[in-house]
Structure 1
Amino acid sequence: MVDQDLLVSYVALFTLAVIPIYFGAHQSLKPSKVEAMQAKDAYMFPVMGSIVLFSLYLAFKFLSKEWINFLMSGYFMVLGIGAVSAALEPFISKIVPYKWSQKKTKKEVKFTLPFYGEVKLSYVDIIGGFFGLVIGAWYITTKNWVANNIFGECFSLVSISLIQLGNFKVAAILLVGLFFYDIFWVFGTDVMVTVAKSFDAPIKVVYPRATGFSLLGLGDIVIPGIFIALMLRFDQHLAKKRGGKNQKLYFNIVFASYVVGLVTTILVLHVFKAGQPALLYIVPCVLGSVILTAVLKGDVKELLAYKDEDLIAKKEVKAEKAE
């Protein structure tokens, strides 16, 4: 039997995970200038992640936790301000004067930063940055869990909307690599759990309960999220190629599969009362569901041949014509 306090924390973490994935995936349908990840990047991602993770573990083991968290909190606060601004941009653009949000007429402020150069900020960026600054000040002065979660949600949403995996093959390499990465660092060592508990920065979403906090790392949201976003774009590609309405078949299936994987993680966590590598349960669910669906629908060749660049290029041409 799960007590009410613990149940609420589980539901809260579940909700905090699925919201940025759903909205970030739909935001990813807009044209992006970000270059798609290459296969070599996907192969190296778990390696670089391991180096960073173990470096943090050593730093917490031999250096002052207070100073490390002070420096990293400041660093993530700056990043968080930008993430909040980017996450709010679609909403702010709808309420400010029309010409402020249009490419040809939007108002900009230009200034020069030492060691960086000229910076251009639109009025929409400045308004979003103001909200980000308020939340950043709230977080850095109080370390309030709500402020932490706002940053975490914005980080996740913006990352999912911007990071392009490029194609299914790259996505599969990344997911399988991180599947083993997560298992090794959680079950093979105490590194992942130690860093997660020691690192006082918005790299996780948390929810308070009587005996402390329940937490979920942003990687368990963002990594599956960018794959789910890829499948939504694949759905759009199929709809355009076949001249039909976008049924979001692959998106709905992989999104539901993520839910199953996340719920499984929570159930195993509750039963064994020990930290779990969420990707151990999530990756087989999301990757397996897509492969099975493609086999049943006869879309395997189409899935393997799909490239984000083709869809993005068409969107950019359409956007240019609209302007």
Structure 2
Amino acid sequence: MKAHERAANIALAGLTLAPLVVKVDPNVNVILTACLTVYVGCYRSVKPTPPSETMSNEHAMRFPIVGSAMLLSLFLLFKFLSKDLVNAVLTCYFFVLGIIALSATLLPAIKRFLPKHWNEDFIAWHLPYFHSVSVEFTKSQVVASIPGTFFCIWYASKKHWLANNILGIAFCIQGIEMLSLGSFKTGAILLGGLFIYDIFWVFFTPVMVSVAKSFDAPIKLLFPTSDAARPFSMLGLGDIVIPGIFVALALRFDVSRGKDNCYFRSAFLGYSVGLILTIIVMNWFQAAQPALLYIVPGVVGFVAAHCLWNGEVKPLLEYDESKMAAESSSSDEKPEKKVE
């Protein structure tokens, strides 16, 4: 065999054996992951009956104050205590929360393959020596907790960014699915307060950025970069859950009226545009940005413009899930009329 033919064969062999590596820009990863998480969480929030407990206007007003107190407390903990000690305690805490969140996220898929009575029959477990404290669960929930437990063990031992992200996504899906704003008025109050909260703690103090970098727990999504000075692009879970519950409210509003996701599309588009704008500005200035500065006007603005265009401001502002839940429960309690 001639030398050039051997060289060609070696090159061809190297080409066929080389692994296929698809590199995706971390900024694209941030946008796609956050948007997909919001989309899944919103559709999982649509239930046969409205949520029984919803956030009130007072709770929405207090939320930024409570959040600020918690953020400042974490900042002081990292400043005056050992970072390793604080993160060890937080790892234990999120280990338990992670099992619960992953189990709840996997449960709908696992239930399909289990006997019906495993999904419906509850088992009551009483805490030893404190028999008044009890926990109810089904066999299906126990089965769902098995993969969640093994996954959390992997996360706690390796702290891999992918394990962090999967846990973070589970937290976000559960948050969007379970939390209810109740009305668009409450949602506007909450998003407006957190809009100011995010701007203050990112632009006017080092607290938010310091806690985000020190906090070694799945409270943010991480995506590796090729920049040694900034090894990860990150997005806080609050930037997914908080606007996500507003987008989910828009979807349930559409479902309640039997419309084809009109306002959900506007809210979801507003979230996507706000998130993309956050990434653009962050890369332009090479500095951390308060994502809610761009996401809140996007979500609220797109929904507001849509309802003004349709002339449906009144029905949107009058929508209240707590009233719907009360009406649903009262109608269920009414005895059926006997037909003779």
TM-score by length of 2: 0.86
Aligned to 1:242: none
Partner residue, 1:50:
68
Give the match for residue 16 of structure 1: 33
Give yes or no for the alignment of 1:99 onto 2:112. no
Report the CA distance between 1:124 and its aligned residue.
Answer: 1.3
User: Which digits, 9 at most, give the CA deviation of each residue in 1:101-150, with x for residues without a partner?
Assistant: 2xxxx243332225571112111111111121111101111111111111
Listed as ranges, the matches of 1:243-262 within 5 Å are 246-262=259-275
* 1:6 to 1:52, Cα distance in 2 relative to 1, 3 A: farther
Q: Which residue of 1 is the match for residue 255 of structure 2?
A: 236
Shift of 1:238: 2.2
Distance in 1, matches of 2:22 and 2:287, equals: 18
In structure 1, the residue corresponding to 2:100 is in which secondary structure? Answer: helix
The residue identity in structure 1 corresponding to 2:248 is A
Quick check: 2:42–2:248 contact (8 Å CA) kept in 1? yes
**Native 8 Å contact 1:228 1:255 kept in 2:** yes
SS of residue in 1 equivalent to 2:232: strand
Q: Which residue of 1 aligns with 2:17?
A: none
Shift of 1:260: 0.4
1:13 is displaced (CA, Å) by: 1.3
- Partner of 2:282 in structure 1? 269
The structure-2 alpha-carbon separation of the partners of 1:55 and 1:94, relative to structure 1 and needing over 3 Å to count, comes to same
What is residue 309 of structure 2 aligned with on the other side? 296
Q: Structure 2: how far apart are the matches of 1:48 and 1:183?
A: 16
Structure 1 residues 284 and 98 mapped into 2: Cα distance closer, same or farther (>3 Å)? same
State how far apart, in whole Å, the 2-side matches of 1:51 and 1:254 are.
29
Does the residue aligned with 1:216 lie in a helix, a strand or coil?
A: strand
Count matched residues.
Answer: 308
Q: Counterparts of 1:318 and 1:23 in 2: how far apart (Å)?
A: 30
- Report the equivalent of 2:90: 72
1:221 to 234, 240, 243: 240
**C-alpha deviation, 1:214, in angstroms:** 1.0
Partner of 1:170: 186
What SS does structure 1 have at the residue aligned with 2:112?
helix
Q: Secondary structure at the match of 1:95?
A: coil
Q: 1:261-286: CA deviations, max 9, x gaps?
A: 00000011111110000000000010
Counterpart code for 2:125: F
Residue 150 of structure 1 pairs with residue 163 of structure 2: no
Other-structure match for 1:132: 148
Structure 2 gap ranges (5+): 1-20, 335-340
Q: Matched residue of 1:206: which SS?
A: strand
Q: Which stretches of structure 1, 4 residues or more, deviate above 4 A after TM superposition?
A: 4-7, 313-321
* RMSD (Å), alpha carbons: 2.1
Q: Conserved in 2, the CA contact under 8 Å of 1:205 and 1:215?
A: yes
TM-score (norm 1): 0.90
Q: Would the aligned equivalents of 1:111 and 1:119 in 2 still touch at CA under 8 Å?
A: yes
Distance 2:23 2:225 in 1: 7
| Counterpart secondary structure, 2:95 | helix
Q: Which one of 45, 65, 70 corresponds to residue 28 of structure 1? A: 45
Point out the more displaced range, 6-15 or 218-227: 6-15
Distance change in 2, residues 1:43/1:67 (3 Å): same
1:233–1:308: 8 Å Cα contact kept in structure 2? no
What are structure 1's unaligned runs of at least 5 residues?
240-245
1:316 to partner: Cα distance: 6.0
Percent of paired sites with the same residue: 45
Give the counterpart letter for 1:92 in structure 2: I
Q: Does 1:209 align with 2:225?
A: yes
Q: Secondary structure at the match of 1:215?
A: strand
Native 8 Å contact 2:42 2:251 kept in 1: yes
